[in-house]
Amino acid sequence: MHHGGLGRVPGPGRSRLPSMSEPPLFEVRGLTKAYRQGDMVVEALRGVDLDVNAGELVVVAGPSGCGKTTLLNLLGGLDDADGGHVRFAGTDLATRTESDRTLLRRRQLGFVFQSFNLVPVLSAFENVEYGLWLVGVPKAERRRRVADVLDSVGLGDRSGRRPAQLSGGERQRVALARALVHDPLAVLADEPTASLDSRTGTAVVDLFARMNTERRTTFLLATHDPAIIERARRRVQLRDGAVVEDERTGPP
């Protein structure tokens, strides 16, 4: 697997099955992060160690305030740790410039947020296409890849609609398509079902699992939703900023 070169836009169909000698896609050691709230210092993460291999689907579980969002932000290079390190695809994120990390996020990582974060004035197609435009993918290639990924998430017939014309589940599917369209090594999803009813949330999680299986994209889902936690093949439980359980209930 090619792990280097932030300037490369990966193409679809790339195998992500890890070899026995391949290092973890994410390697986290001794991660600490604290925030100041008034006169108080809140320790969000307290010495977290975590390895995630290419192709895994990992649920990071725990109650609100346990450090899930902080962990995902650090894994995605959106914030800096106070201590420890995060290596992603062989790169120590702390040694990269902010411009390098921006390129990495645009080309090797996908993000899905609780509130969808779609641009209201753009159609579903344009929301998904925008990230490819940012990194200079030619128009014909953009259109082919956007149409393909919207079809794969079941929204081929909704591509011309703006977010306000879509249901919550459809908007989250657009957000997932946007995360997947540049064929990232990993997708980080923070409470992806929190804005959805339980039936729609289950359908979205089924879609995440299918994309993980079909595309071999690595997924990390932060959630406190029991329905997702129960169905996870690997569950990392956080409590008070520390990993208290790391359990596999199925094949990686």
Please report whether residue 12 resides in a domain.
no
- Domain encompassing residue 203: 53-80+97-248
The average confidence (pLDDT) of the chain is: 88
For residue 252, what pLDDT is reported? 55
Please report whether residue 139 resides in a domain.
yes
Please report whether residue 21 resides in a domain.
no
Residue 10 pLDDT more than 90?
no
**CA 131 to chain centroid:** 15
How far apart CA 14 and CA 11 sit, in angstroms, is 7
For residue 66, what pLDDT is reported? 87
- The values of phi and psi at residue 138, to 5°, are -60, 155
How far apart CA 212 and CA 14 sit, in angstroms, is 13
Indicate which CATH number applies to the domain containing 166: 3.40.50.300
Please report whether residue 86 resides in a domain.
no
For residue 221, what pLDDT is reported? 95
Between 247 and 9, whose confidence is greater?
247
For residue 250, what pLDDT is reported? 66
Please report whether residue 174 resides in a domain.
yes
The tens digit of pLDDT for each residue in 192-202 reads 998 888 889 88
How far apart CA 10 and CA 173 sit, in angstroms, is 21
- What's the pTM? 0.86
For residue 6, what pLDDT is reported? 37
- Residue 1: which pLDDT band, with cuts at 50, 70 and 90? very low
Residues 6+ apart with CB under 8 A from 86: 26, 27, 28, 31, 74, 75, 77, 92, 93, 94
- Residue 181: which pLDDT band, with cuts at 50, 70 and 90? very high
The tens digit of pLDDT for each residue in 65-124 reads 889 999 999 999 999 999 999 999 988 988 888 889 888 888 899 999 888 889 999 999
The packing angle between helices 168-180 and 124-134, to 10°, is 20
Please report whether residue 48 resides in a domain.
no
Between 250 and 170, whose confidence is greater?
170
Number of domains in the chain: 1
Interval 148-167 mean pLDDT: 94
Query: Which helix (H) or strand (E) covers residue 85, if one does?
Result: strand 83-88
For residue 172, what pLDDT is reported? 92
Please report whether residue 24 resides in a domain.
no
The tens digit of pLDDT for each residue in 123-156 reads 999 999 998 998 899 999 999 999 999 999 999 9
